[in-house]
Structure 1
Amino acid sequence: MENFTFKKENFNKIFPFYVLLNNNLEIISYGTSFGKLYPSLKKGDSFNENFRIKRPFLDTITAKALSENVNQLVIIECRTGHDTVIRGQFELLDDKFLFVGSPWFISIEEIKSKSLNIFDFANYDPLLDLLQLLKTQEISTLELRNLLKINNDQREELKKEREELNMQSLVASANNNAIIFTTPDAKIFWCNDAYLKLTGFSREEIFGQTPVEIGNNPAIEKEALQKMIDLFYSGKPFDVEITHGRKDGSYFWTRTQGQPVYNDKGEIQQYFAMIEDMTEIKEKEEQLKLLSLIAEKNMNSVVICDRDGRIEWVNESFEQVTGYNIFELVGKKPGEMLQGKDTSPEAVAYLSRQIREGEPFNCEIVNYNKNGKKFWLQITGQALYNQWGEISRFFAIQEDITERKKLEKQREELMNSLEKSNKELEDYAQIVSHDLKSPLRSINSLMAWIREENEGTMTEQTSLYFSMIENKLEKMDSLIQGVLTYSRIDRADVNREKVNLDEIVNNIIHIIDIPSHIKVTVDCTLPVILADRYRMQQLFQNLIGNAVTYIDKPEGTVNIGHNETKAAHTFYVKDNGPGIAKENHEKIFKIFQSLVKNERSTGLGLSIVKKIIDNYKGKIWLESEPGHGTTFFIQLPKTK
């Protein structure tokens, strides 16, 4: 390979944004375009006092720190109010540090504000596309003629830049993008390490081959390939997006930019090409296309905003819900257009914080459409990132939950009304029970006085009538107490404690009146559950008492038992009584329903049982046939 010498002036044309530092990190020289960005900069200035390294972040810039960060992407910014940052690399050059980079611009206006033009950038710099657009929009006819003259002068100067290639190769070696040099007949004679890493080939395998031979792959686009070949052999610069093969048979997407290098006679001496790996960008572009396609078909509203939170795109559903068309929305922040007096400040603060920190967000918020109509939204969204891990835009899905909110409000109002009604019913039941029990107690006292005053003089028939009245009074008292109990069951449990049902049931067996011909048996040890002790007492006392009351056999049996699953307890109360016809299995749980006449029955026992079980979100059912007894099953879900 030939050796080349290098002149500062020519190097400046290819790498206009460079800075050369001595070992004390003092500025020896810098590119003319670099000087345009930082006009207050002078030779001999301290680099450390004028600039900071943003990525990788360095607290203090030292020669040692720079030595440890060569051959990697570095982002620098000015400490003195200039807002432009430069991306590039540091390279050791003898005892000096050479920084070569390119400014980071995001808009034409920013480039114009720096008074830069096309000649302030290297020919292969990606920002040339943006500058070319600026040039096309602004140059006049006179400027165009001057530009043509300058281009001709530049072409003549480029013929003298053969000696630059030695320095250019040095810089290219440190470039993150792949760089190659070829002979005029397209044979590769030099490449940097980045090209080896991207392709997987060794230098021995690459040198002497053409880029087409190295990069050929089954997915290559024939049209793009032919365009690059035609421009190459025409001696023209080229800039194409094309796939490039690897040694292992895979391939990656590239942006390949090349330009000819001339000798003193104006003949093409070699070609210089830079190959940028675009695979991740291409994949994200495809993802964005797919995301937009999905969003367009989504029934919910979808909005995509830039990194500043300004709308870039919305789907048709978003337009329909808000009443705004996409042209009215683009460039605006959703909150500026849609929030109003009933929008929660807490929700707004939450969204702002999540977006600012790049975190996912999910909340409910009140918005207003173009006509001022209020509606509720459920907003779910997240940030999208570029290849450098920086937020590029935000994506959000907005579900209209206005109807759901109306239903929730109606439900809340209904529950409040129901709670009020239940309280009124309970109060009424207590008043009624008190008012009814008072005359009953008076009648009972009168009956006792009459018996006492007429002891020994009442006929047998009169005594029978008195007993019948007393039984009726006792039944009426039980009925009143049952009504009061039934009205109170809907109240939320105040006491939830560990209740030993084995103890509860055995106490009931000893308390209630069980005729001598009936045997009540507990088949197994009953569990301890979390519940209200009084209600469990009511539940089992009613079930066992009901079974005992209706047994019509000479020898009666009542069995109580339990089964358990992971989710629930299931109890049973089984008797050998008269049984219940299938058509009456549901009827018996209704209030004041009794299928047979019995002086001790109020018609409330099973209604109370059913209401208690419903209150615990449990189930009750029975298995029974006339003449073959009845088994009641109670299932109560386990609670923690």
Structure 2
Amino acid sequence: MFKDSLIELDRTSVLRVTADTMPAMIAYIEADRSIGFLNEEFARRFSVTAEDVAHVSGRNLDQLFPQKTFPGAGDELQTALSGEEVRFAFQLPDAASPRDFEGYFRPHRANSGRILGVVALFTDVTDRKEIDQKLRHQAHDLQRSNAELEQFAYVASHDLKAPLRGIENLASWIEEDLGDKLEGDTRTNMDLLKSRVRRLESLLSDLLAYSRAGRDDNVIREVDTRALVSDLAALISPPEGFRIEADASLPTLVTAQAALTQTLQNLIGNAVKHHPDPAHGLIQVKAASVGNMYEFTVSDNGAGIPEQFRERVFGMFQTLKPRDEVEGSGMGLAIVRKLVERQSGQVWLSENEARGLTVHFTWPAISKESRA
């Protein structure tokens, strides 16, 4: 019996030391509203001396703390003493400004179910509320900036295309007016003018596509990725002799169909467009399960990308070849990265053992929206 008492005393001491080191106010109120325990945080927050805090056991709550100063000592504590958990908010005065607190009363029951008392926890949430408010403001600012960027992209893509089409029409009319007189350097310059107009129009379209990438992430459907790759191969319509193979490892996912479709379409289209020998081109698309993600690989037997440029190609408007050699805006991989990262995935490049390049990207086995 004496040994059990010593063990219980030791446990009580450990609990007291633990409670005194916590930044929150912790108390135990007996069923008769007498105080069983207060930690030292009360000495700092209330007009209670350290000596009083250390010797409060058995003293009446209303005697040590007038009801007007002890948070929740009225209806909230009475509700807790009747057996219900209670959460409430309150403020305490401070030298600078009032501090916001969250209060929590939890009933303590005997094995028989009888209420023995209430555990009280008071937590200062002022800093957290300020951070939450700042985050809300930042989220609002970010949302506004994104809306402005999308509006700019729309204006750039839509409104600027009209004068571009006018320039292209003017060039065509000049060609018709000159007829057989259009030759030599004049013909070369006219073709170059029309090519530049088409390139600028493509850049504007891809800029809009980048700004809108991932907007349909909330449309969740079941996607047979093997069938999807086969459909994309037909849609892209590669040159004769170019093979696009969908491996049997490709899974069926419940995911954001539009985002995954655009990702694979961009990668396959890029590999076809930049292949140096299209008549013997080969693209293989595979997948492997990695934890709660799938790692997709799109491999080709093309020229590859030197290691020092493998990060650069994911930037906006980045191309490794002059645009006079290969038409393109340099936005394909930038869009891919944005789409993949919106799905909490990653994308990277590696060199094939024999020849060519492999693009790896991870995609969730179950989309975030589907889990929700």
TM-score band by shorter chain is 0.7 to 0.9
User: Any conservation in 2 of the 1:562–1:570 contact (CA below 8 Å)?
Assistant: yes
In structure 2, the CA distance between the partners of 1:626 and 1:318, relative to structure 1 (3 Å rule), is farther
Counterpart position of 2:132 = 408
In structure 2, the CA distance between the partners of 1:321 and 1:605, relative to structure 1 (3 Å rule), is farther
Instruction: Write the letter of the residue equivalent to 2:108.
Output: L
The offset of 1:620, in angstroms, is 0.9
User: Any conservation in 2 of the 1:581–1:626 contact (CA below 8 Å)?
Assistant: no
Counterpart position of 1:576 = 301
TM-score w.r.t. the length of structure 1 is: 0.49
SS in 1 for 2:283: strand
Instruction: Write the letter of the residue equivalent to 2:69.
Output: M
In structure 2, the CA distance between the partners of 1:539 and 1:445, relative to structure 1 (3 Å rule), is same
TM-score w.r.t. the length of structure 2 is: 0.80
Alignment partner for residue 319 of structure 2, among 590, 594, 608? 594
Once residues 487 and 309 of structure 1 are traced to their aligned partners in structure 2, the CA distance between those partners, rounded to angstroms, is 62
The offset of 1:289, in angstroms, is 5.2
Counterpart position of 2:29 = 305
State the identity as a percent.
25
Query: 2:362 matched to 1:635?
Result: yes
Q: Which sections of structure 1, spanning at least 5 residues, go unmatched?
A: 1-218, 220-242, 244-252, 254-278
User: 396-405 vs 628-637, which deviates more?
Assistant: 396-405
Query: 2:69 matched to 1:337?
Result: yes
SS in 2 for 1:304: strand
Alignment partner for residue 556 of structure 1, among 258, 281, 286? 281
SS in 2 for 1:628: coil
The offset of 1:317, in angstroms, is 2.0
The offset of 1:417, in angstroms, is 0.8
In structure 2, the CA distance between the partners of 1:389 and 1:492, relative to structure 1 (3 Å rule), is same
Instruction: Write the letter of the residue equivalent to 1:617.
Output: S
In structure 2, the CA distance between the partners of 1:626 and 1:462, relative to structure 1 (3 Å rule), is farther
SS in 2 for 1:499: strand
The offset of 1:423, in angstroms, is 0.6
Once residues 304 and 462 of structure 1 are traced to their aligned partners in structure 2, the CA distance between those partners, rounded to angstroms, is 93
User: Any conservation in 2 of the 1:358–1:391 contact (CA below 8 Å)?
Assistant: yes
Aligned length: 355
Specify which structure has the higher proportion of helix.
2
Counterpart position of 1:501 = 225
SS in 1 for 2:219: coil
Alignment partner for residue 605 of structure 1, among 322, 332, 337? 332
Instruction: Write the letter of the residue equivalent to 2:283.
Output: V
Once residues 84 and 70 of structure 2 are traced to their aligned partners in structure 1, the CA distance between those partners, rounded to angstroms, is 22
In structure 2, the CA distance between the partners of 1:447 and 1:308, relative to structure 1 (3 Å rule), is farther
Counterpart position of 2:159 = 435
In structure 2, the CA distance between the partners of 1:286 and 1:528, relative to structure 1 (3 Å rule), is same
In structure 2, the CA distance between the partners of 1:552 and 1:338, relative to structure 1 (3 Å rule), is farther
1:559-583 per-position Cα deviation (integer Å, ceiling 9, x unaligned): 1112224511221111122222333
Once residues 392 and 575 of structure 1 are traced to their aligned partners in structure 2, the CA distance between those partners, rounded to angstroms, is 72
SS in 1 for 2:61: coil
Counterpart position of 1:292 = 16
In structure 2, the CA distance between the partners of 1:365 and 1:587, relative to structure 1 (3 Å rule), is farther
User: Any conservation in 2 of the 1:571–1:635 contact (CA below 8 Å)?
Assistant: yes
Equivalence map 1:526-545=2 (5 Å): 526-545=250-269
The offset of 1:379, in angstroms, is 4.5
Equivalence map 1:487-526=2 (5 Å): 487-489=211-213, 491=215, 493-512=217-236, 514-516=238-240, 518-524=242-248, 526=250
Instruction: Write the letter of the residue equivalent to 1:590.
Output: G
Once residues 478 and 290 of structure 1 are traced to their aligned partners in structure 2, the CA distance between those partners, rounded to angstroms, is 71
In structure 2, the CA distance between the partners of 1:425 and 1:388, relative to structure 1 (3 Å rule), is closer
SS in 2 for 1:509: helix
SS in 2 for 1:337: coil
Instruction: Write the letter of the residue equivalent to 1:509.
Output: A
In structure 2, the CA distance between the partners of 1:527 and 1:611, relative to structure 1 (3 Å rule), is same
The offset of 1:324, in angstroms, is 4.6
* Structure number with higher relative contact order (C-alpha < 8 Å, ≥ 6 residues apart): 2
SS in 2 for 1:514: coil
Counterpart position of 1:466 = 190
User: 314-323 vs 432-441, which deviates more?
Assistant: 314-323
1:127-170 per-position Cα deviation (integer Å, ceiling 9, x unaligned): xxxxxxxxxxxxxxxxxxxxxxxxxxxxxxxxxxxxxxxxxxxx
In structure 2, the CA distance between the partners of 1:433 and 1:286, relative to structure 1 (3 Å rule), is same
1:389-447 per-position Cα deviation (integer Å, ceiling 9, x unaligned): 53232223333333222222211111111011101110111112222101111112223
Once residues 458 and 296 of structure 1 are traced to their aligned partners in structure 2, the CA distance between those partners, rounded to angstroms, is 92
Once residues 537 and 472 of structure 1 are traced to their aligned partners in structure 2, the CA distance between those partners, rounded to angstroms, is 29
SS in 1 for 2:159: helix
Once residues 500 and 636 of structure 1 are traced to their aligned partners in structure 2, the CA distance between those partners, rounded to angstroms, is 14
Once residues 567 and 464 of structure 1 are traced to their aligned partners in structure 2, the CA distance between those partners, rounded to angstroms, is 55
Once residues 351 and 224 of structure 2 are traced to their aligned partners in structure 1, the CA distance between those partners, rounded to angstroms, is 29
In structure 2, the CA distance between the partners of 1:466 and 1:306, relative to structure 1 (3 Å rule), is same
The offset of 1:509, in angstroms, is 1.7
Greater Cα radius of gyration, structure 1 or 2: 1
In structure 2, the CA distance between the partners of 1:353 and 1:613, relative to structure 1 (3 Å rule), is farther
Once residues 110 and 225 of structure 2 are traced to their aligned partners in structure 1, the CA distance between those partners, rounded to angstroms, is 64
SS in 2 for 1:480: helix
The offset of 1:631, in angstroms, is 0.6
The offset of 1:483, in angstroms, is 0.6
Once residues 95 and 47 of structure 2 are traced to their aligned partners in structure 1, the CA distance between those partners, rounded to angstroms, is 7
Counterpart position of 1:374 = 98
Q: Which runs of 4+ in 1 moved over 6 A?
A: 281-286
